Homo-oligomer: A and B are copies of this chain.
């Protein structure tokens, strides 16, 4: 069975394509009698309008893009749920693009988004991204952009983030209060604002407590594949930290595995705290203290702002900076 389109309806009713199209759009040019005939046949044949054709008429694709580094991370999968919850009420589709933490992929994706395929873009940038041109081009093409979680600071637009600096400070203070003398911060990027803000909060807490610099205070693990080896070698060194803050969720498993393998006891020999939305945090060995971000709420708020920008071109997105605070949930890994 071939697809039922306007031409099929026109042929069967012996009317012109233009008449059918106008009838379906309830145009005043068409009689009620004809409209009724067209609608009856359209319903009977299960006619569905082609969204590309109607997109061209409306100049709206009724689609937004969500560009993010990966979905195998509970923060992002929960944020997607928050975004979808808003898009559904607006009758919009959500196109999910993954950059896999590569700047080149992100650039290609945004070039594609310029072409009318989407009405707006929600983006959480890759850990490699430290240029803004590819995002600026979207704005030049009148496509509203909203950042969530990971932002590119040079771009003026709405952003929904969490209180990363405060949480870095809070996490470091928590470790110091629990008796750590040499806590370390494990980061995946030297340029991502979320990582920088968390690191800066960590440093500020150490500074305030009068703790001098030591080796391995900040550890960069940009590469997923090397993470386990790199962490293990630091845990085996003379400069072993007595506390670790994992800046993102995927650092948790390699850290725990390395500690288990080296018989380094958590929390006795080393205390661990992670920025993570892991469902399994309370059942890890031992249960993991987390800074838990309001992932669903961040997604929801970012989507809400984006739709304001899409629906009303006069709405000034650049004035919108929303910070939704995270919470420290204490468990045995820092007791």
Interface residues, chain A, CB within 8 Å of chain B? 1-3, 46, 48-53, 55-56, 61, 63, 70-72, 74, 77-78, 80-81, 84, 93-98, 111-112, 114-117, 137, 140-142, 250, 252-253, 256-257, 260, 278-280, 282-287
18 additional A-B pairs beyond A1-B140, A257-B283, A285-B285, beta carbons within 8 Å, are A2-B142, A3-B142, A48-B141, A49-B115, A50-B116, A51-B116, A52-B55, A52-B56, A70-B77, A71-B80, A71-B81, A81-B98, A93-B117, A95-B95, A252-B280, A284-B285, A285-B286, A285-B287
B contact residues around A78 at 8 Å (CB)? 72
B contact residues around A279 at 8 Å (CB)? 72, 250, 253
Which residue of B has the minimal Cβ distance to A142? B3
Whole-angstrom distance between the alpha carbons of A96 and B260 in the complex?
38
* Contact across chains for B84 and A116 when beta carbons are under 8 A apart: no
Whole-angstrom distance between the alpha carbons of A2 and B141 in the complex?
6
Interface centre among A116, A252, A287 (most CB of B within 10 A): A116
Which residue of B has the minimal Cβ distance to A108? B88
* Contact across chains for B253 and A137 when beta carbons are under 8 A apart: no
B contact residues around A256 at 8 Å (CB)? 283
* Contact across chains for A116 and B3 when beta carbons are under 8 A apart: yes
B contact residues around A96 at 8 Å (CB)? 80, 94-96
Whole-angstrom distance between the alpha carbons of A137 and B46 in the complex?
10
CB distance from A83 to the nearest CB of B (A): 10
Whole-angstrom distance between the alpha carbons of A94 and B81 in the complex?
17
B contact residues around A72 at 8 Å (CB)? 74, 77-78, 81, 279
* Contact across chains for A51 and B117 when beta carbons are under 8 A apart: yes
B contact residues around A81 at 8 Å (CB)? 70-72, 98
Whole-angstrom distance between the alpha carbons of A140 and B95 in the complex?
25
* Contact across chains for B282 and A280 when beta carbons are under 8 A apart: no
Whole-angstrom distance between the alpha carbons of A66 and B78 in the complex?
18
CB distance from A51 to the nearest CB of B (A): 5
Whole-angstrom distance between the alpha carbons of A36 and B147 in the complex?
39
Whole-angstrom distance between the alpha carbons of A53 and B63 in the complex?
16
CB distance from A94 to the nearest CB of B (A): 7
Whole-angstrom distance between the alpha carbons of A49 and B112 in the complex?
10
Interface centre among A250, A257, A280, A287 (most CB of B within 10 A): A280
B contact residues around A257 at 8 Å (CB)? 282-283
